[in-house]
Amino acid sequence: MVKYVKKCPECNGINLFWNKDRGEVICKDCGLVLEEKMVDFGQEWRDFSDEGDESRARAGAPSTYTQFDQGLGTEVGRKADIYQLDRKSKNKFFRLRKWQYRISTAIERNLKLALAELKRVSSYLKLPKSVEEEAAKIYTLAVQRGLVRGRSMESVVAGALYAACRRHEVPRTLDELSEASSIEKKEVGRTYRFITRELGINILPSNPADYIPRFASALKLSAETQSRSIEIIEKAQKAELTSGRGPTGIAAAGLYVSALINGEKRTQREVADVAGVTEVTIRNRYKELLERLDLEKEIKKTKKKRKD
DNA sequence: AAGACGAAAGTGGTTGA
DNA sequence: TCAACAACTTTCGTCTT
């Protein structure tokens, strides 16, 4: 596999490799396999590596996005390469190398800092490693596409983490991301939307049920209450009470009702605080749930029981 | 007195002309 | 680009437990 100094037309990533045996060029960032004929363009595709280097078997650490350069470095040429060049080419060569150096060091410095921040926020939120990796990947793509320009590095990190959480179905609220990264909630949401749109990823609305375990444990509710609230949410989804609504509000209302039914009452205030919505939103969802899912009987039942 | 309820006005984002 | 719009919030007064 030979590394090219050329950007991927799909994701604009710089990690393109030419597999000589197969005659394919593969982008390590988006997995795109470029058409063979692109290789034939010859001069467009500059190969700065020397053969011997690459044909040697290489066994290294697995490539990872949380390392700032994925464990792979790019360099324009070596000293040995230039002996065969005339003066003009030499100048060109040095110019190129200077630029390559400037660009790559700037990007690498940024990535180093950003990934440190990313790790900090991620561990603060106790996110799984897989999410951290995904976020690092998203951030790396964002940097390569120049999406960080005009935005603070921290907010892009927060946005990338938020996106990664959603893709792995371990959603955190914007409030939590905001608190962990000390970026305003609005800003996190804004950059999240921006980078997901620009990178063309994701866009599947998060499932309210994904929030239940975390909210429930924060409120010290029993496992029965948890599973009951998930049932309620599933019913609500079938009754089309969930589309267009904020998932956290639905999760909060479901949890509130099931707590009532199981005689583990929490105030609307408590649930609202944990879920990061207001009491009003809980009330609205709660009302809809009662109307459409006739849960009133069940609540009355538990009320009677408590009297006994 | 605390919690639940609901009306009214304001905010930020989406959508469609 | 702008206005209408839906969801959610803030605030506040009233009712219930």
Predicted confidence (pLDDT) at residue A290 exceeds the cutoff of 70? yes
Predicted pLDDT at A241: 79
Distance A283 CA to B5 C1' (A): 8
Residue A119 φ/ψ region, left for φ over 0, alpha for ψ in the -120 to 50 degree band, beta for the rest: alpha
Q: Which domains does chain A have, with CATH numbers?
A: 2-35 (2.20.25.10), 108-199 (1.10.472.10), 208-307 (1.10.472.10)
Going by pLDDT thresholds of 50, 70 and 90, the confidence category of residue A71 is very low
Q: Is the CB of A268 under 7 A from strand B?
A: yes
pLDDT at A6: 57
Chain A 168-187 contacts with nucleic strand B (CB below 7 A):
186
Over residues A181-215, the pLDDT tens digits come to 888 888 898 898 888 888 877 667 788 888 998 99
pLDDT number for residue A13 = 57
CA of A196 to C1' of B14 (A): 16
Compute the C-alpha angle A179/A251/A205, nearest 5°: 80
Q: Quick one: pLDDT band at residue A149, thresholds 50, 70, 90?
A: confident
DSSP A73-113: ------GGGGGGS-HHHHHHHHHHHHHHHHHHHHHHHHHHH
Q: What average pLDDT does the structure give for chain A?
A: 75
